[in-house]
Structure 1
Amino acid sequence: MYQVLTDHDIEKLVSMKSIVNAIKRTFVEQANGTLVAPPRFRLETKQGDLVFTAGAATAMEKVIGFRVYDTYANDVDGHQQLVCVFDSDTGVFKGIVIGNLLGAVRTGAIGGVAIKAMARKDAEHVAVIGTGIQARTQLEAAVAVREIKQVRVFGRNQENREAFAAQMMKKLDLEVVAVDSSKSCVQGADIVICATNSGTPVFDAEWLEPGVHINTVGPKSIKRHEVPMELGARSSVIATDSIEQLKAYPTPHFLVGTPDEERVIQLRDVVTGKIPGRKGQDDITLFCSVGLAGTEVVVANEIMKKVSCRE
């Protein structure tokens, strides 16, 4: 019997630690050649597009499926993402997840894997720039993989950043402080999470402390990017979840065509120990999240397993 889940179910059932572990296993599958993860593709019309990300993890996870979402620029009710999951051994349909939360949870968990692999083990202070759902799930994942003691958050809207601080302090049971500038947010941070919609850099690379790790999940093209261009040159290690996707954007990624492009490594190689995530305590490290196909299906399957265990 197949399952039909919604954002309400995801909110109740998600354990970020278990999702991070599932994503880590997926990177191991990628390294072992058992993850099929082609770049996303679009069904384009004049009114808007449908964007598909398909993938399969056939060894440990044994799932195959796809996610689809739209890019229609209107406020009509009913815009939803769909994630369909099938058994990769038998082709049997396992279920569908309807809603936008799973994608954010998936991206947050990938960020958590990056932090676990690349941030200093003694990292305690997190800076979050952005106050939306992506910022929330990235922070949840950071707390799942490191012993975080304090969080500072900055967003352009005072009401939003104060609400973020109050909600996340209650949810995570740790100190979350809203600050009034991005400079005061990132200075002294061990981990910086950028999850904004900004097309211009939201901080200056000179504000960063030695040894900091940065996750960037927002705009990333040469025309619109939330982190400064010089961050690539300042970073000792640069990783991404999919070099294929990083190089496949219609508008090039901000690192493509720069001397730093050739230094970008696959996060899977850090996760499996092939390449170190940092060479020293003072290294600045950068993770550019672009989205690894198949991970949405793995996350959906992980949550469906929780439902099955409860029945």
Structure 2
Amino acid sequence: MAIILSDSDLDCGTTMQIAIEAIEEAMAARSAGALVSPPRHSVSFGCKGDLVFTVGGTIGEDPIAGFRVYGTFKGLRREQIVAVWSTETAELQGLVIGSRLGDIRTGAIGAIAIRHMSSPDARTAGVIGSGQQARTQLEAAALVRRLDRVRVYSRHEQNRRTFSAEMEQRLGIPVEPVASPRRAVSEADIVICATTSRTPVMEAAWLKPGVHINTVGPKTVDEHELGLDVAAAAHLIATDSLEQTQAYKAPFFLSESSDAARMVDLAAIVGGRLPARQARDQTTLFCSVGLAGTEVLASKLLAATGGKAPAG
């Protein structure tokens, strides 16, 4: 019988760590050619919005297959479904219903980028954005790097104050709300951009040498939260799905720049086929686009553990 999880099952403190382990596994499978991860597919329902499908899974040992579907319809709940099958037995193993998994999965992908691309001694983080994606990105980052200080900026003062108080309590490290994006990022070893901004929210000149940047928000040529100057300043640019960057309806924000050809697959770094940095002062950039199949592996592991890390 399939295990069914909802948002409330994913609220325990170990969920993000489980998701990070699942994404590490997915990246290793992709590096080995064992992850099925085609670009997402949208089905239009006219002016009401789309249903968006991602299909993926693994081949080889313990193979699984599944899909994620979510709607772009207007509404408050924004729910989605992830279903996981065993390709050996045809058994439906698990269902995850709600909205939390998408944020958790994206946060976990960001954590893998930070684990493998940032300096191992990174201790400070700067966050631009104060929504749910910013929360899960920071939570995940704190699980892979021993952070001792965070600064956050968002446009609305109350939002960044609320974010700071909540995340400081959750993570047990100081989280300071600041009045400008420059103040948030200028001393950071790790920068997380998780906004809905259609225009760049920071400048490359604000960043210190050796910083690692994760961008989660808009990334099309017409709407992008990071400017081309940040990409040009990066010694290495990676993404979780090169295929997805080429499959968007609107062109990817780097598509018309010379930096597009420099972009590499995060899985190549995770698999040890490509070094992330060769000097402490090198800047690295990760562009998160949502690798298909990762939500399926995360759902399988979460269903197997009931959202709780196994004892011992």
Which residue is equivalent to 1:100? Answer: 99
Does the 8 Å contact 1:117/1:277 carry over to 2? yes
Does the 8 Å contact 1:127/1:152 carry over to 2? yes
Provide the C-alpha distance between the structure 1 equivalents of 2:281 and 2:72, rounded to a whole number of angstroms.
41
Which residue is equivalent to 1:156? Answer: 155
Q: Which moved more, 1:227-236 or 1:300-309?
A: 300-309
Amino acid at match of 2:131: G
Aligned counterparts, 1:33-44, within 5 A: 33-44=33-44
Identity of aligned residues (%): 45
Aligned length, in residue pairs: 308
SS at match of 1:12: coil
Which residue is equivalent to 2:21? Answer: 21
Which residue is equivalent to 1:52? Answer: 53
Does the 8 Å contact 2:77/2:99 carry over to 1? no
Aligned in 2, Cα 1:13/1:92: closer, same or farther, shift over 3 Å? Answer: farther
Provide the C-alpha distance between the structure 2 equivalents of 1:308 and 1:167, rounded to a whole number of angstroms.
22
Provide the C-alpha distance between the structure 2 equivalents of 1:279 and 1:299, rounded to a whole number of angstroms.
31
Unaligned runs of 5+ in 2: none
Provide the C-alpha distance between the structure 2 equivalents of 1:228 and 1:150, rounded to a whole number of angstroms.
26
Which residue is equivalent to 1:218? Answer: 217
Amino acid at match of 2:162: A
Normalising by structure 1, we get a TM-score of 0.96
Cα deviations by residue, 1:85-141 (Å, 9 ceiling, x for unpaired): 111322210121111110010000000000010000110000011111111111111
Displacement of 1:301 in angstroms is 1.0
Amino acid at match of 1:63: I
Aligned in 2, Cα 1:79/1:120: closer, same or farther, shift over 3 Å? Answer: closer
Amino acid at match of 1:43: V
Unaligned runs of 5+ in 1: none
Displacement of 1:63 in angstroms is 2.1
Which residue is equivalent to 1:4? Answer: 4
Provide the C-alpha distance between the structure 2 equivalents of 1:258 and 1:213, rounded to a whole number of angstroms.
21
Aligned in 2, Cα 1:167/1:248: closer, same or farther, shift over 3 Å? Answer: same
Provide the C-alpha distance between the structure 1 equivalents of 2:20 and 2:5, rounded to a whole number of angstroms.
20
Aligned in 2, Cα 1:64/1:210: closer, same or farther, shift over 3 Å? Answer: same
Does the 8 Å contact 1:14/1:303 carry over to 2? no
Displacement of 1:218 in angstroms is 0.3
Cα deviations by residue, 1:218-272 (Å, 9 ceiling, x for unpaired): 0000000001111111100000000000111111111112111110000001001
Which residue is equivalent to 1:66? Answer: 67
SS at match of 1:66: strand
Which residue is equivalent to 2:146? Answer: 147
Provide the C-alpha distance between the structure 2 equivalents of 1:178 and 1:301, rounded to a whole number of angstroms.
37
Provide the C-alpha distance between the structure 2 equivalents of 1:290 and 1:106, rounded to a whole number of angstroms.
12
Amino acid at match of 2:147: I
Aligned counterparts, 1:1-311, within 5 A: 1-12=1-12, 14-46=14-46, 47-59=48-60, 62-72=63-73, 74-75=74-75, 79-307=78-306
Displacement of 1:64 in angstroms is 1.1
Q: Which moved more, 1:99-108 or 1:55-64?
A: 55-64
Q: CA RMSD in A?
A: 1.5
Provide the C-alpha distance between the structure 1 equivalents of 2:277 and 2:61, rounded to a whole number of angstroms.
28
Does the 8 Å contact 2:218/2:225 carry over to 1? yes
